[in-house]
Chain A
């Protein structure tokens, strides 16, 4: 069988070593289904390090801090590289920030942020395991409750 060759990026972002099950969640968060850039999504790829992994390459897109923070929430294990001139220009370490603003929805339906125009805010009480407290309704949530905007 002929192996699929993935073109090397000239300019753009590579997200590598995503846990396989998180691959499409990352793609969704970045809104890649509506992207006009050249996008490569690889799922269940062989990896000596992880067994199976996901990989996403996006041409001519450089993730901003907000997008990197979103990925940190759902796939903190991933490696993020910015490519310029076919070279790795920067490796970004994914880290959950101390506070999330406008990144996720509060799952408490009776929370004011679901009824008024207000940017959501969560205080990160613990990073491992992920525990967030809504700045408004003060409820505590885990990773499974996260609804990324």
Chain B
């Protein structure tokens, strides 16, 4: 499979076989500290996301390449009203690939349509964040040794959670059982449920305590207070879905907890030291996957 020069914009662009290839390649990737020597990566963050930016910069640095860019649009020419198209056309002359994070949905696709060099989407509004999804798939595969036949629960903000939409779609095509755990106010939108692959049955509940014992993976997302008009409703939810050692007593010992981070207090810090916590491993896997992707796309590794 050839990935040199390819854009990474949406999980929709990848077949099952391509996803498996990317994960295999990431697992076996032996980093070389000069694979991308002399190559330059632009990181254009039109909205801040410290972890995503740092993980790309770390990946690029460890392969011998360098990064240019901005992490705060208020100091760049964007504030002066430059169009996205003009920014992309200018920047592509400076580098070998572009990472873009932008608050508008579809911005990364537009950038990729304009640029002649590869573009990687690091989050476009509420739409896609494919390197996060690939990291999540990689983490599950590495921890469980497989990507199918698993019982995976999603907890928290399933309505607005971009990571949940993207990951559940990808996992559904690998035949898993998916559990969506949320209050009715934050449940999975029908449009996303409809696009799930039918080979994966789904179950919906608002009771974590009743089904946590069935799960192999529990994927937790942050519930954002600004989504609620009623602060009491928010408080109630926060407490219902708080994961602590007590809640873990109901879980299988090998059940793993994932979270795209940063967390607020969905997961008690006492859980960090347990065998169940996988979220910091997940964060560090993000660098591994991004390294492998950069080597494939910019370096033409196979």
Residues of A within 8 A of B (CB): 106, 108, 110-113, 115-118, 134-140
Contacts and interface: CB of A to CB of B under 8 A. Distances in A.
A135 B109 CA distance: 8
B84 A112 contact: yes
Which secondary structure dominates where chain A touches chain B? loop
Given A137-B125, A138-B128, A140-B191, A115 B12 contact: no
Contacts of A108: 105
Contacts of B191: 139-140
Given A110-B126, A112-B110, A118-B110, A137 B83 contact: no
Interface centre among A110, A113, A139, by most B CB within 10 Å? A110
A110 B83 CA distance: 16
Given A116-B110, A136-B109, 5 more contacts: A110-B104, A110-B126, A111-B105, A117-B83, A136-B110
Contacts of A116: 83-85, 104, 107, 110
B200 interface: no
Nearest to B109: A136
A118 B111 CA distance: 11
B106 interface: yes
A112 B105 CA distance: 6
B interface, size bucket? 20 to 34
Contacts of B126: 110
B128 to A, nearest CB: 7
The 7 closest A-B pairs by CB, nearest first: A136-B106, A137-B105, A112-B106, A137-B106, A112-B104, A112-B107, A136-B109
B10 interface: yes
A9 B125 CA distance: 52
B194 to A, nearest CB: 8
27 contacts: A110-B103, A110-B105, A111-B104, A111-B106, A112-B104, A112-B105, A112-B109, A113-B106, A113-B110, A115-B104, A116-B84, A116-B104, A116-B110, A117-B83, A118-B110, A134-B106, A135-B106, A135-B109, A136-B105, A136-B107, A136-B110, A137-B106, A137-B127, A138-B127, A139-B105, A139-B191, A140-B191
